[in-house]
Amino acid sequence: MTVLAILAFAGVLAVVAFDWLHRTKAALVGAGVVVIAGVFGIDEAITAVDWETLGLLVGMMIIVGLTERTGIFTYLALRVAQLSRGRPFRLVFLLAGTTGVLSAFLDNLTAILLVVPITLLLADSLDVDPIPLVMTEILASNIGGTATLIGDPPNIMIGSHVRELSFVDFIVNLGPVSLVTLVLGTGLVYLFFRGKLDVDPARAREVAALDPAEDVRGRPHVKRSIAILLGTIVGFFLHTPLGLEPAVVALAGATLLLVVAADDIEEALERVEWGTIFFFIGLFVLVGALESRGVIERIAEGVNAITGDSVGGQSIGILWIAALGSAAVDNIPFTAAMIPVVDELQAGEDFNDAQWWALALGACFGGNATMIAAAANVAAVGVLERTGHAISFVRFLVIGVPVTLLSLVIATIYLLLFQV
């Protein structure tokens, strides 16, 4: 039974990594196998699902989906691009900054799906290659998403699982390192592409003349949607003093928005990416099976054997293992498996947040290495393909790996200096 649990999880990882089957189908098949084969029972499987993570995801998907209809994010992206006045350096940094901030407070996948299409229009209007701009945004979305509890699926999972860590804790501990990484990483991408970003001043003037507010005017529920989105973000900051879990804040915001700004409930609920939700459910069951068979405990012992007993060694080990695993597979299943490993490492010890920050940094930054490492990358590459700007796996690596290495070096220094 233990072997079956390992094979099911490893099989799903392989299927996801090589894209043999859609990741949600793979995770559900794997979960079905472990339950039907009796590795553990249905009651245990249901308990293994982290419903808080799912609640946070569903709540944010509804809030962002309904707010997106207002056109406010397109307005923001276009307005920011206009501020660059066609200067490549400014354009790259402003797009990276916007994507990073959107990614931190929405989530990185949503941020990418909001900014990439408008960036393609901008690149077309400015007559520049869109790939440097979109690559900057992909990297910025993964780095920006690292800064908050809701910014990236690994953080959502960690934040929902570890009660001791609040929304503010995430920002305080991961915000500054993410900001430094965003600036340096964007600088690296700019150096790489700077020859390809010359903008014709006449084109820049045409873009500057566009009125981005035209799309927001006259749309229904604009003010109330934005107010509820901002209110939810304030709610995240205050969730600890309010005694509310982040999932409760997100679902409360989503419910309020559904009541006041969704004319058609069925259409509004279509904003929930059910494929992603079921992917998470399958993964939680698979990891639960590994946990119940003692596999996670043995992995934790293995990590301990490599990194030693010290918190510093373990944290650096977790950072790099999580980054490598996320880069090779996908940071969501890897984080799902690593969370119980960190729990195990801390069993019987005092609570130590450094290892959780190491996991968050490793999984989120590792998401930049390959085009399959994070959902945002997969989505952005898909949009590029559909619009005639396909980017190869290797071309992504050439930019993704140096940025990932740079970010991991920054994270290592940060952990050693400030966390352990």
Partner 1 sequence: MAVLRDLTVDAAVPDTATFGEAVEALTRTDAAVVAIVDADRRVVGLLDERQLLRGLFPAYLGELKHTAFADDDVESIRERRVRAAAQPIRELMAEPVTVEADASLTHVAERFMHCALEGLAVVEGGRYKGVIDLDVFVRAIRDE
List residues near partner 1 by CB under 8 A.
Answer: 68-69, 71, 74-75, 78, 116-118, 120-121, 124-125, 206, 209-215, 383, 386-388
What b/e readout covers 358-384, taking b as 16+ CB neighbours within 10 angstroms? bbbbbbbbbbbbbbbbbbbbbbbbebb
User: Dmax over Cα atoms in the chain, in whole Å?
Assistant: 68
Nearer to partner 1 (CB atom), residue 199 or residue 342: 199
Nearer to partner 1 (CB atom), residue 130 or residue 317: 130
Residue 20 three-state SS: coil
Distance between CA atoms of residues 138 and 367, nearest Å: 10
Min CB(78)–partner 1 separation in Å: 7
Min CB(123)–partner 1 separation in Å: 9
**Beta carbons of 415 and 315 less than 8 angstroms apart:** yes
Min CB(20)–partner 1 separation in Å: 23
* Span between the terminal Cα atoms of the chain, in Å: 38
Min CB(376)–partner 1 separation in Å: 15
Distance between CA atoms of residues 227 and 253, nearest Å: 10
Min CB(141)–partner 1 separation in Å: 16
From residue 252, how far is each of 55, 233, 256, 261 by CA, in Å?
10, 12, 6, 14
Nearer to partner 1 (CB atom), residue 218 or residue 348: 218
Distance between CA atoms of residues 92 and 89, nearest Å: 5
Q: Which residues make Cβ contacts (< 8 Å) with residue 386, sequence separation at least 6?
A: none
Nearer to partner 1 (CB atom), residue 324 or residue 391: 391
Nearer to partner 1 (CB atom), residue 4 or residue 210: 210
Nearer to partner 1 (CB atom), residue 68 or residue 291: 68
**What DSSP assignment string belongs to 96-143?**
HHHHHHHHHHS-HHHHHHHHHHHHHHHHHHHT--HHHHHHHHHHHHHH
Distance between CA atoms of residues 418 and 415, nearest Å: 5
Cα 275 → chain centroid: 16
Nearer to partner 1 (CB atom), residue 99 or residue 407: 99
Nearer to partner 1 (CB atom), residue 349 or residue 385: 385
Min CB(387)–partner 1 separation in Å: 4
**What DSSP assignment string belongs to 359-377?**
HHHHHHHHTTSSTTSSHHH
Min CB(232)–partner 1 separation in Å: 22
Nearer to partner 1 (CB atom), residue 117 or residue 313: 117
Min CB(372)–partner 1 separation in Å: 21
Min CB(62)–partner 1 separation in Å: 17
